[in-house]
Structure 1
Amino acid sequence: MSRKLQKAGFDQVEIEDTIAQLQQAGLQSDERFAESFVSSRANRGYGSVRIGMELKERGVNSDIITTSLQQADIDWFALAIEVRCKRFGEHSPDDFKDRAKQQRFLQYRGFTHEQITESFNLTNNEK
């Protein structure tokens, strides 16, 4: 919020005072923002790595990011499977090129290597 207000031309001292007043009144909370952001982005099919990076870009404290990701009631492995199947279908990749393409997609979406690997293993075992 501070960066946006600075770009709009507001004085830094006024910005800090206003944000402090909003926080004291309970109207601004980085914790609530992070929780909402994690939920929103996960619902759109993004993984924890990307969500964490986006929160950091928005100036959220690393401790808040870690806590929000840990407290989120999200099965990241199941989400990786869901995202992969939605994009590429439930069939296993036919060759190395298709598998690499799907892995790059999931990596771009912010899933860990373990989650990506497991998404292929679980869908292969279900067949």
Structure 2
Amino acid sequence: MTDNASKKKQGKTRPKKSVKEAAVGYLSRRDHAEKELRQKLKNSGYRGEEIDQAIDFCQDYNWLDDVRYACIMMRNGIAKGWGELRIKQEMEVKGIASGIIDQIFEGAETDWYEHARDVAIRKFGQTAIDTPKEKAKRYRFMQYRGFNFDQIAYAFNQDEEY
């Protein structure tokens, strides 16, 4: 068995570029949360201490910033027509700390009720809800998008029940 074949059987070979180069490479393509970048570097075969040094290096140069990344995620989520709940969930999945998430949403100037109405109009137009089945369909769509019940009711001007 050749040396390369035995190395592949034993596990990943040592990456050819330095951990700092790899981290900067990932960040040059798009922003990442610290946890996400740490996981990518680990999956690439780098060790914990090296990863810590690369993370510190990137943070020192302000190339890695979870607050900035959370702001970008919020802006992108709103553009996609997502509600507050869905955006928060996506941030948590990416590994953004709950304190940062709270800070971003407290400082946000988004009116989630009006945003829900805009999303509903964009998807369904101004047509009235004429059946309970149609109401359920529209509410499910808005829930999937991350709006709460009050925001959904506001979006569809639903005060009455069927």
Asked whether the two chains share a fold, i.e. TM above 0.5, the reply is yes
For 1:117 and 1:9, the matched residues in 2 are separated by 50
Q: Normalised by the size of structure 2, how large is the TM-score?
A: 0.71
Q: Which of these residues, 67, 71, 80, is aligned with residue 44 of structure 1?
A: 80
* CA deviation map 1:47-74 (0-9, x unaligned): 1101101110111000101111222221
Counterpart code for 1:83: V
Counterpart code for 2:152: I
CA RMSD of aligned residues (A): 1.5
Counterpart code for 2:124: F
For 2:70 and 2:41, the matched residues in 1 are separated by 19
For 1:118 and 1:78, the matched residues in 2 are separated by 8
1:18 alignment counterpart: 54
2:152 alignment counterpart: 116
For structure 2, list consecutive stretches of 5 or more residues without a partner in the other structure: 1-36
**Greater gyration radius:** 2
1:88 alignment counterpart: 124
Q: 1:24 deviation in Å?
A: 2.0
Counterpart code for 2:47: D
1:61 alignment counterpart: 97
* CA deviation map 1:10-55 (0-9, x unaligned): 2122111111121122221100000111011111100110110111
For 2:118 and 2:38, the matched residues in 1 are separated by 36
**SS of corresponding position for 1:121:** coil
Counterpart code for 1:115: Q
For 2:109 and 2:45, the matched residues in 1 are separated by 39
Q: How many residues align?
A: 123
For 1:43 and 1:71, the matched residues in 2 are separated by 18
- The question of whether the paired residues in 2 share the 8 Å contact of 1:103 and 1:116 is answered with yes
Q: 1:88 deviation in Å?
A: 1.1
1:67-82 to 2 correspondence within 5 Å? Answer: 67-82=103-118
Counterpart code for 2:146: G
